Structure 1
Amino acid sequence: MDTKSLQRDVAAILARADIHINGSNPWDLQIHNQQFYKRVITQGTLGLGESYMDGWWDCEQIDEFVCRALRADLYKVARLTWRGWLEALLAKVMNHQVKGKAARNAQIHYDIGNKLYQLMLDKRMAYSCGYWKNANNLDQAQENKLDLICRKIYLQPGQRVLDIGCGWGSFAKFAAERYGAEVVGITVAHEQVKLARELCQGLPVEIRLQDYRDVQGQFDHVVSVGMAEHVGYRNYRTYMQTAARCLKPDGLFLLHTMGMAYSRTSADPFTNKYLFPNSLLPSLKQLGGAMENIFVLEDLHNFGAHYDYTLLAMFRNFDQNWELLQPEYGDLFYRLWKYYLLSTAGSFRARNNQLWQIVLSKKGLMGGYESVR
């Protein structure tokens, strides 16, 4: 098929979402390389992302472009490429989140330099969705989220909490400072451990380089923020069993995770290749099946729309501090992370991605659980 025919096909698909080639709207695509059309038709979302990295197209508002494309269900119009079929097939027969692989997967994203995350994130370095109720900046939204978690588990002074996937220790530090808790945080990323220990120095916080499957002992509560996305659907049951094993009989487990409205067994090819290898957003069906006969659902809170604001704020920080990062990371990295942050914001704006906080107990709280917002 010649370039003009491919261009007509791509233009027709985009027009369903009021997106136009070289149009005047801020969400329209400005094409710089005519090979763009073949690349997108043959490689799908991988070709779309890579061609942006290579400078083949630009868009004033990538987030709005992605939002409109998803709201118009354009992914149902475009065919799944052979690469997508292959990755979906392999995901069904392979476990990409066994212990050794899980550590390597996380390190590819989280061990690329603490300076990047210090300049991009809020002052507490929370790399997850903020809670923007009564907040007008990223620092406040993230503190609101951390406080919300503490209130949802009814955290009391002196209680011991396990933080599965603790990142740079944002929750551990907050819970220790504000609520007088003792926290054990675990992560498989070396750079996170190094900085988290520095940030939590002098507090009753222990940061471990440890896989969640290896944790021993019992805790008053368990929290896991932005970790389930890296567990893999084959390991959800083990993940729930581990949380239950570590949780005292009357304790609460708070799971904070991104999610999808439908079940998948493989991630988007672009995300899998460049950002979060072998990650997967769970569905409620997958999580619900994994927790059967282990936990009682006490509360489910969806505030996925808040991730749009969070990601835009992170991008502003990243963009404003790029001069300090450019010598180390280079311009290709800038286009990759701009595309990643803004396209993900658009996906949450479109309500294609969700953000759930799920409160679980072992046998159900006597008298019921009072929802906290």
Structure 2
Amino acid sequence: MADAASRLSRLAEQMLGVPLPVRIRAWDGSQAGPPGAPALVVRNRRALRRILFKPGELGLARAWVAGDLDVEGDLYSALEAMASLVWERGEDARTLRQALRDPVVRAGARDLLRLAGPPLPPAPPREEARRPRRRLHTRHTDRRAISHHYDVGNDFYELVLGPSMVYSCAYWEDGGTLESAQRDKLELVCAKLGLKEGQRLLDVGCGWGSMAIHAAREHGVGVVGITLSQEQAAYARKRVADEGLTDLVEIRVQDYRDVADGPFDAISSIGMAEHVGAERYLEYASQLYALLKPGGRLLNHQIARRPQRDETAYEVDDFIDAYVFPDGELAPVGTTVTQLERAGFEVRDVEAIREHYARTLRRWVANLEADWDRAVRLTGPGRARVWRLYMAASALSFERNRIGVNQVLAVRTPESGASGLPPRTRTWNTA
């Protein structure tokens, strides 16, 4: 008799201590759970073995990437329902070990193990980053981490990002398109930096060249764009050539620590600082400070997490670290501002644009889902599933204020202290 779904639902509720907010559809065709709720599809017993071997987020992620788990119905609704059971409960291995002291939970785990069957454990999906955890954020490990995320095919990123090829938060007006919102974001950065014709801009983490091209074409600025991704650099150079901007824009495969041809009038760092790491952040800020002329401006556009009561206990997101941004780290915006000031900068402005990133991510997910079969052909089913889950979950995280994104404008104040009036870039709605 087909009853795997009922058994799974009952065991999960025993172990979690709360009713499941999703239905379960199991490999034997059985279903259980609240009618009309999104369904968690358990395609095989291997999904259970993955979760048992790596309880919490990483086990669920491995099952998802491998195709052992799926969602039937709206992905956002399913993630909203699951958030209170996984991400917001902190169901990591340590928490589960503590829960297993409860006889009811321990008995449920034994029953789940019997249902999962041998052998344990399954190999992780090939899309999972594998690297030593000892020395992070060296030039070598940073290059490898960047390659894991960005060197998955420019055609795939074109499908997701659209023609703008901007892989960071857009800046939305009501009714605007993704392309117009990304153009407005680039122009906002240029306005905050006060770019003028003939100036020199360093674009750190230049991606596929969109900021460099916009600054050169619209403001007559000479730009040096740096990235660690070979595929990004090749794509950006072709775009620069096609725009006829080779006399203004140079794209390099170069680590920010190796730039030695300053000073620059301005520096943009858009969606790059998340890769730097807490131990290297002061070095990063100090290097950018040294590359600026006195009076020069830095625009640091960076995702932030909420601060915790015990910052020493902070752990990176298992799924993001294993499949999306290996070695990436998020810091509270206050920490970022402090580190910039420690490096010598005067922070002049901080603009929070969290809601803008949620909308951006939903547009990227829509692009991916609209051309899903091609995405799978371009990058494989596992990688496409990684991107769909990560972007949808991130959209919800921005909407729920679990993470944010901020543009920090900082100045290398000249010795005289007079750096002119800051740029006027915002109009406040006081109604």
TM-score range, shorter chain: 0.7 to 0.9
How far off is 1:302 after superposition?
0.7
Cα distance in structure 2, aligned partners of 1:105 and 1:51: 22
Pairing 1:316–2:363 present: no
* Counterpart position of 2:239: 199
The letter of the residue matching 2:399 is R
2:383 to 333, 342, 346: 333
CA distance in 2, matches of 1:69, 1:369: 45
The Cα shift of 1:333 comes to 2.7
Bigger Cα displacement from structure 2, 72-81 vs 353-362 = 72-81
What do the CA deviations read for 1:61-98 (whole angstroms, capped 9, x no partner)? 3334434555x58545344325999xxxxxxx954111
Rounded Cα–Cα distance in structure 2 between residues aligned with 1:35 and 1:327: 25
Change (3 A) 1:11 1:186: same
| Matched ranges for 1:53-68 at <5 A | 53=65, 54-67=67-80
Q: Which runs of 5+ in 1 are unaligned?
A: 86-92
Which amino acid counterpart does residue 403 of structure 2 have in structure 1? N
Cα separation, 2, equivalents of 1:250 and 1:322: 48
Counterpart residue number, 1:151: 191
Counterparts in 2 of 1:291-310, with a 5 A limit? Answer: 291-293=340-342, 294-310=344-360
Alignment partner, residue 291 of structure 2: 246
Match of 1:227 in 2: 272
Is the aligned partner of 1:181 residue 2:259?
no
**Counterparts of 1:46-85 in structure 2 under 5 Å?**
46-53=58-65, 54-67=67-80, 70=83, 75-82=87-94
Partner of 1:213: 257
* Structure 2 residue aligned with 1:23: 34
* Alpha-carbon spacing, 1:355–1:14, altered in 2? closer, same or farther (3 Å): farther
Query: For 1:206, what is the secondary structure of its paired residue?
Result: strand
Work out which of the residue numbers 265, 287, 292 in structure 1 matches 2:336: 287
For the 8 Å contact 2:276–2:328, the answer to whether it is kept is yes
What is the TM-score normalised by the length of structure 1? 0.87
String of CA shifts for 1:150-171, please: whole Å, max 9, x gaps: 1111111111100000000010
Question: TM-score, normalising length from structure 2?
Answer: 0.76
Query: Relative to structure 1, is the Cα distance of residues 175 and 4 closer, same or farther in structure 2, using a 3 angstrom cutoff?
Result: closer
C-alpha separation in 1, matches of 2:23 and 2:349: 43
What residue is the counterpart of 2:326 in the other structure?
A: 277
Per the alignment, residue 55 of structure 2 pairs with 43
Partner secondary structure for residue 179 of structure 2: helix
8 A contact 2:58–2:319 mirrored in 1: yes
2:138 to 83, 94, 98: 98
Which AA in structure 2 matches 1:208? R
CA contact (8 A) 1:233 1:265 kept: no
Deviates more, 1:317-326 or 1:73-82: 73-82
Supply the distance in 1 between the matched residues of 2:420 and 2:96 (Cα, whole angstroms). Answer: 48
Letter in 2 for 1:212: Y
Mapped partners of 1:324, 1:80: distance in 2: 35
Please give the alpha-carbon distance, in whole angstroms, between the structure 2 residues aligned to 1:200 and 1:310: 25
Structure 2 vs 1, CA of residues 199 and 365 (structure 1 numbering), >3 Å: closer, same or farther?
farther
User: SS in structure 1 opposite 2:331?
Assistant: coil
For each residue in 1:247-301, what CA deviation from the matched residue of structure 2 results, as whole angstroms up to 9, or x when unmatched?
1111110000111012576421111111111111222243133223411111101
Shift of 1:329: 2.6
Distance in 1 between the 2:19 and 2:355 partners? 24
Contact 2:47 2:68 in 1 (8 A): no
CA distance in 1, matches of 2:379, 2:407: 34
Structure 2 SS opposite 1:313: helix
CA distance in 2: counterparts of 1:8 and 1:198, whole angstroms: 55
Query: CA–CA distance in 2 between the matches of 1:340 and 1:297?
Result: 32
Q: Which secondary structure state, in structure 2, belongs to the residue aligned with residue 130 of structure 1?
A: coil
Shift of 1:117: 0.8
CA RMSD of aligned residues (A): 2.9
* 1: CA distance, partners of 2:14 / 2:400: 24
- Which of 202, 213, 220 aligns to 1:162? It is 202
Pair 1:147–1:23, CA change in 2 (3 A): farther
The total of aligned residue pairs comes to: 363
Contact 2:139/2:255 (CA < 8 Å) preserved in 1? yes
> What corresponds to 2:154 in structure 1?
114
- Secondary structure of residue in 1 paired with 2:55: helix
- CA 1:177–1:286: 2 relative to 1, 3 Å: same
Change (3 A) 1:286 1:330: same
Q: Structure 1 CA distance, aligned partners of 2:19 and 2:411?
A: 46
Residues 152 and 379 of structure 2 are in contact (CA less than 8 Å); yes or no, is this contact kept in structure 1? no
SS at match of 1:77: coil
Deviation string 1:308-358 (CA, Å, 9 cap, x unpaired) is 111111122222223333334332333222212211111111111101100
Structure-1 separation of matches of 2:393 and 2:274: 18
Cα 1:40–1:6 change in 2 (3 A) is farther
1:8-42 per-position Cα deviation (integer Å, ceiling 9, x unaligned): 14664575xx6565434565645555775675575
1:243 and 1:84 map into 2 onto residues whose CA distance is: 43
Give the letter for the 1:272 counterpart.
D
Determine if contact 1:26/1:59 at 8 Å carries over to the other structure.
no
Whether contact under 8 Å (1:164, 1:225) holds in the other structure is: yes
1:129 aligns with 2:169: yes
